[in-house]
Amino acid sequence: MKYLTKEWYRKSNLTDLHFDLEIIEEAADQDDELFQSLYEEAEQKFIEEEQAEYDFDPREFLDEDSFDQESDLLDFLAEEDFIEQLIENFDNRDPFSEEKTKKLFAEIYESSLAAAKEQLPSEIYSQIADPRIFALGFCTDAVYNLVRAFSVGNNRETMQVLKDYEDAMRLQDIPRQLQQRFRFHDCRITGWLSQGKDLVLTLDTEAGFTSDNRIIFLDVTVLVDENIVSLYWTCDELYKTDHGYEVHILCDGDRTAELNLLCSDILIEEI
């Protein structure tokens, strides 16, 4: 990738770290009692939210008065099979388990605890007196300002790169039909097949915004291959060359990986 690199993608996911932080000056010290109190409070709130979601009867979706008549949700809910499946799942669900919900909350908390150390620069993380309290969403005013400045800086930088990328893409002499169909964001790469000099990628488009699920790159020279099969198509760069196209694809999932290649042409199909 020339613009939308792995580093750009990483920073683009670190632009909102301050959004859910609440300032409390008690976070200036490591405090076991405060941590325990905040943990139990957050855990109870999580249990109540999960219980409310568990208790929501999908039959309420059948009441069209509950939604704006212009809402796309009405069209979505008009799928009778979808509603019936929701109702069946609701009627046959297992009893609500507070124990399992607490375990889920603990897993989410541990993930937040690890993420803070991984995502924040060491000079910011070192200012956090009690990472346990920070992982629950609480910090001092000083730490909040540092985290906010870091997030805003990432946003400013990634948006500038995105603008540069869009400017570069506008300069490419790409046929309009290819521009319109080369849109596979959130599609999962399910297959990779080499056919002579050609490369065929198949896609699961359920989470994407297209029904096109096969791409054939003709006369391929692979520049970078980090095995994108099973990952989700995140972003791409498409350049016109004297002999066809240069294609860069960035994918994400349980890891981040790239595929960069040269080809003479690109065929896109729905199979």
CA 47 to each of CA 42, 51, 104, 240: distance values in angstroms, whole numbers, following the listed order: 9, 6, 10, 53
For 61, residues 6+ apart whose C-beta sits below 8 A from its C-beta are: 77, 83, 86
pLDDT greater at residue 77 or residue 91: 91
pTM, to two decimals: 0.83
Q: pLDDT digits over 182-218, tens only?
A: 999 999 999 999 999 999 999 999 999 999 999 999 9
With a cut of 70, say whether residue 77 has pLDDT above it: no
SS3 of 230, please? coil
Confidence of residue 69 (pLDDT cuts 50, 70, 90): low
Question: Is residue 237 a contact partner of residue 259, using CB atoms and an 8 Å limit?
Answer: no
The C-alpha angle 150, 152, 153, rounded to 5 degrees, equals 65
* pLDDT on residue 80: 63
Q: pLDDT digits over 37-67, tens only?
A: 999 999 999 999 999 999 999 888 776 665 5
With a cut of 80, say whether residue 127 has pLDDT above it: yes
Work out the burial of residue 157: count CB atoms within 10 Å of its CB; fewer than 13 is exposed, 13-18 middle, 19 or more buried: middle
Q: What is the mean pLDDT of residues 169-179?
A: 95
